[in-house]
């Protein structure tokens, strides 16, 4: 059974730092992996989707990588800003029925 | 841009009431999903639909039903609301996609309180 883990559960860093959020999954047979951001009390915003055939995707200051063989994905945030403070979740699509398997999220705080 | 809207941001209902949560997407997506999110339990899938009039149970369907009469609209129904259904409800949609490209997009959420 596919399981998705995000470590650490919480992270606090000063503004301006480059940082990496981690996501690991137990079964390498995935269709894709998606990173989301959630602000308190709000819905989820899709950040990046990496298909199983891809190694990375970039959007602005965000870069997500995928290593299926090791069951890992990282979300790299460059030059962090207080507005990046949010909970970041990763999810994998593991089979043909379009459902996602979710990590518990990393709560990120960027200190001004 | 994909837009997923939910009928209410906040809703307060009484125990035993029948509750309807509506979700509409404007991108002609085939798949639609209903989740609930609770502190410490993360996102849990209630029901999903991969086509009009089709529905599949997720991880926690008990106490809920759904309706999808039109492609753009997916309704979640609480037949008899109970206090343990107090939660944040999130709707999402995605295309069938090809080659694994089926990005999931979310609505703003409905915070439901059952008294």
CB-based contact, A28 to chain B, within 8 Å: no
pLDDT for A19 beyond 80:
yes
Strand ranges in B26-100 using DSSP code E only, listed in sequence order:
31-38, 42-49, 56-57, 64-70, 73-78, 87-94
More confident residue, B101 or A23: A23
Residue B109 has pLDDT above 70, yes or no: yes
Q: List, in order, residues 6 or more apart from B20 with CB less than 8 Å away.
A: B7, B75, B76, B77
Interface test with A, best of B23, B47, B103 (most A CBs within 10 A): B103
For chain B, give the mean pLDDT. Answer: 93
Contacts of A60 (CB under 8 A, 6+ apart): none
Cross-chain Cβ contact A45/B106 below 8 Å: yes
Average pLDDT over residues B8-30: 96
Tell if the CB–CB gap between A53 and B100 is shorter than 8 Å: yes
pLDDT, position B98 = 66
**pLDDT at residue A89 greater than cutoff 80:** yes
Residue A60, min C-alpha distance to chain B (Å): 17
% residues pLDDT > 90 (chain A) = 90
pLDDT of residue B2: 66
Q: What is the mean pLDDT of residues B99-114?
A: 89
Q: What is the pLDDT of residue B22?
A: 97
Residues of B in contact with A91 (CB under 8 A): 104
* Cross-chain residue pair B99–A93, CB shorter than 8 Å: no
3-state SS of chain A is: CCCEECCCCEEEEECCCCEEEEEEECCCCCCEEEEEEECCCCCEEEEEEEECCCCEEEECCEEEEEECCCCEEEEEECCCCHHHCEEEEEEEECCCCCCEEECCCEEEEEEC
Joined tokens for residue B114 = 């059952």
Q: Which residues of B touch A (CB under 8 A)?
A: 4, 31, 33, 42-43, 45, 48, 50, 56, 58, 88, 90, 92, 94, 96, 99-109, 111
What digits encode the pLDDT tens for the residues A32-76?
Answer: 999 999 999 899 999 999 999 999 999 999 999 999 999 999 999
Contact (CB<8Å) B106/A89? no
Whether pLDDT at B100 is above 70:
no
CA-to-CA distance for B88 and B43, rounded, in angstroms?
10
Q: State the best of B104, B106, B111, B112 to mutate against chain A, taking most chain A CBs within 10 Å.
A: B104
Q: Which residues of B touch A43 (CB under 8 A)?
A: 4, 90, 106-109
Q: What was the pLDDT predicted at B25? A: 97
Could you read off the pLDDT of B56-89 as tens digits, one per residue? Answer: 999 999 999 999 999 999 999 999 999 999 999 9
In this prediction, residue B49 has a pLDDT band, given cuts at 50, 70 and 90, of: very high
Residues of chain B neighbouring A103 (CB-CB closer than 8 A): 42
């Amino acid at each position: 059974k596919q399981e998705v883990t995000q470590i650490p559960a919480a992270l606090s860093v000063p503004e301006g730092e480059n940082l990496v959020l981690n996501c690991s999954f137990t079964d390498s047979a995935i269709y894709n992996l998606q990173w989301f951001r959630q602000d308190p009390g709000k819905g989820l915003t899709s950040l990046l989707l990496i298909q199983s055939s891809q190694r990375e995707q970039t959007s602005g200051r965000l870069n997500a990588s995928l290593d299926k063989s090791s069951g890992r994905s990282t979300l790299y945030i460059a030059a962090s800003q207080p507005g990046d403070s949010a909970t970041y979740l990763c999810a994998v699509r593991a089979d043909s029925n379009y459902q996602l398997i979710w990590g518990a999220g990393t709560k990120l705080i960027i200190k001004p | 841009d994909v837009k997923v809207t939910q009928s209410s941001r906040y809703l307060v209902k009484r125990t035993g009431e029948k509750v309807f949560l509506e979700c509409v997407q404007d991108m002609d997506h085939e798949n639609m999903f209903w989740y609930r999110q609770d502190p410490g339990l993360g996102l849990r899938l209630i029901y999903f639909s991969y086509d009009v009039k089709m529905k599949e149970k997720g991880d926690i369907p008990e106490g809920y039903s759904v309706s999808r009469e039109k492609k753009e609209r997916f309704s979640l129904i609480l037949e008899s609301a109970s206090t343990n259904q107090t939660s944040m409800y999130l709707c999402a949609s995605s295309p069938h996609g090809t080659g694994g490209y089926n990005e999931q997009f979310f609505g703003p959420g409905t915070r439901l309180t059952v008294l």
